Amino acid sequence: MAIGTNGTNGADHWLTNKLLARLPEEDRSRLHDQLVPHFLRLKTVLFEPGEVVDGVYFPLDGVVSLVAPMEDGNIVEVATVGNEGVVGVPTVLGGSLRVRAISQVAGRALAMPTTAFLHEISTCPPLARLVQSYVLALFGQISQAAACNRLHSTEERLSRWLLMSHDRVGKDEFPITQEFLGQMLGARRATVTLSAGLLQRAGLIRYHRGHVEILDRAGLEAASCECYQVIKDELAAVDSRAFGDRDLRQRESSRAGAG
């Protein structure tokens, strides 16, 4: 997918991406001039397995899935990326992943050409440390998802998926079809319908005509497997792992003073 603006005015809200927001102010200002606003529509494919990644994307309020496609056309989700991270990080490793990146919840993002991103990685130590820390968290998420898909029920996995999406979109209601949910969870549509119905009858969600609304966040967390909290904690540790607790406290103190 070529990098270029498509008329979305997202520049004023670019700090809603937590990875960018963690950067020192001077680095944020420099990057700001290179980031192009995009609106990622549902099912937008950013890259295919083994494909050269021509750009990286920092989601603001949408969700991008990394999925493993099978020969029969089925796909299974191995990780999701939202406003806590960046899509296209295999470029940092000098290669690509055997996954497809596809927008699963439509939303805004900021994009940067791969060449510009790699230049920033090589010249901006704070960005390099954050991205390297995020890559570790991403692979941790992939590992946890593999175990979750094998060991936990569809209801537990659906609850985890809904919670992670809820964290990223910043609102209680968002569009998602049963067909797409089935693909993400590696389950038949009938199974997803049954699982969503159980969560709805329990008063945790409302699902109607391709839209889901979170009604009881605490109840949904109780219905989820432990994988949600494991992945959430891993993503939350990106900052401290990149900068260290002491450095992190100093940066937070500086931000508070600036405010």
**Judgement on whether residues 96 and 168 belong to the same structural domain of the protein:** no
Question: CA-to-CA distance for 188 and 191, rounded, in angstroms?
Answer: 5
Question: Is residue 152 located within the same domain as residue 87?
Answer: no
Transcribe 62-78 into DSSP letters. Answer: -EEEEEEE-TTS-EEEE
Task: Answer yes or no: is 134 within a domain.
Answer: no
- Taking the C-alpha atoms of residue 159 and residue 211, their distance in angstroms, rounded to an integer, is 15
Quick check: is 233 in a domain?
A: yes
For residue 11, pLDDT over 50 is answered with no
Residue 258 lies in a domain: no
Indicate whether 189 belongs to any domain. yes
Whether residues 175 and 109 share a domain: the answer is: no
User: For the residues 237-258, what does the mean pLDDT come to?
Assistant: 64
End-to-end CA distance of the chain: 38
Check whether residue 173 and residue 228 sit in a common domain: yes
What mean pLDDT is predicted for residues 202-214?
Answer: 91
Residue 242 lies in a domain: yes
- Strand pairing partners for 76? 68
Q: Containing domain of residue 51, as a range?
A: 1-123
Q: Identify the band that residue 19 occupies on the pLDDT scale cut at 50, 70 and 90.
A: very high
Last residue of a domain, one of 78, 99, 123: 123
Q: Are residues 117 and 163 in the same domain?
A: no
Indicate whether 140 pLDDT > 80: yes
Least confident of 107-121, 139-153, 187-201, 242-256: 242-256
Is a pLDDT exceeding 50 seen at residue 8? no
Mark which of 59, 92, 123 sits at the end of a domain.
123
Q: What percent of the chain has pLDDT over 90?
A: 47
| pLDDT tier, 92 (very low <50, low <70, confident <90, very high otherwise) | low
Q: Is the pLDDT of residue 158 over 80?
A: yes
Same domain (yes/no): 4, 107: yes
Cβ atoms 210, 176 nearer than 8 A: yes
Q: Residue 182: give its domain's CATH number.
A: 1.10.10.10
Higher pLDDT, 20 or 191: 20
Residue 10: is its pLDDT beyond 50?
Answer: no
Burial zone of 123 (CB within 10 Å; 0-12 exposed, 13-18 middle, 19+ buried): exposed
- The predicted model scores a pTM of 0.84
Domain-located, residue 128: no
Q: Average pLDDT for residues 203-214, to the nearest whole number?
A: 90
d(C-alpha 107, C-alpha 41), whole Å = 7
* 100 shares a domain with 10: yes
Are the C-beta atoms of residues 86 and 72 closer than 8 Å to each other? no
Number of structural domains in the chain: 2
Specify whether 117 is located in the same domain as 146. no
pLDDT at 93: 57
Report how far residue 244's alpha carbon sits from residue 113's, in angstroms, rounded to the nearest whole number.
29
Position 224 scores a pLDDT of: 96
Q: What mean pLDDT value characterizes the chain? A: 84
Mean pLDDT calculated for residue range 164-181: 86
Arithmetic mean of pLDDT, 87-96: 68
Look at residue 255 and tell me if it is in a domain.
Answer: no
**50-78 confidence digits (pLDDT tens):** 787 888 999 999 899 998 888 888 888 88
Hey, CA dihedral for 43, 48, 54, 56, is it positive or negative?
A: positive
Greater pLDDT, 81 or 189 = 81
pLDDT (average), residues 110-119: 92
- Say yes or no: 221 and 152 in one domain: yes
Query: Which residue among 123, 155, 172 closes a domain?
Result: 123
Q: Kind and range of the H or E element at 75?
A: strand 75-81
Indicate whether 19 and 96 sit together in one domain.
Answer: yes
Return all residues near 201 (Cβ < 8 A) that are at least 6 apart: none
Nearest-angstrom CA–CA distance, 67 and 98: 9
CATH number for the domain spanning 42: value is: 2.60.120.10
Within this chain, do residues 163 and 69 fall inside the same structural domain, yes or no?
A: no
Return the higher-pLDDT residue of 74 and 227.
227
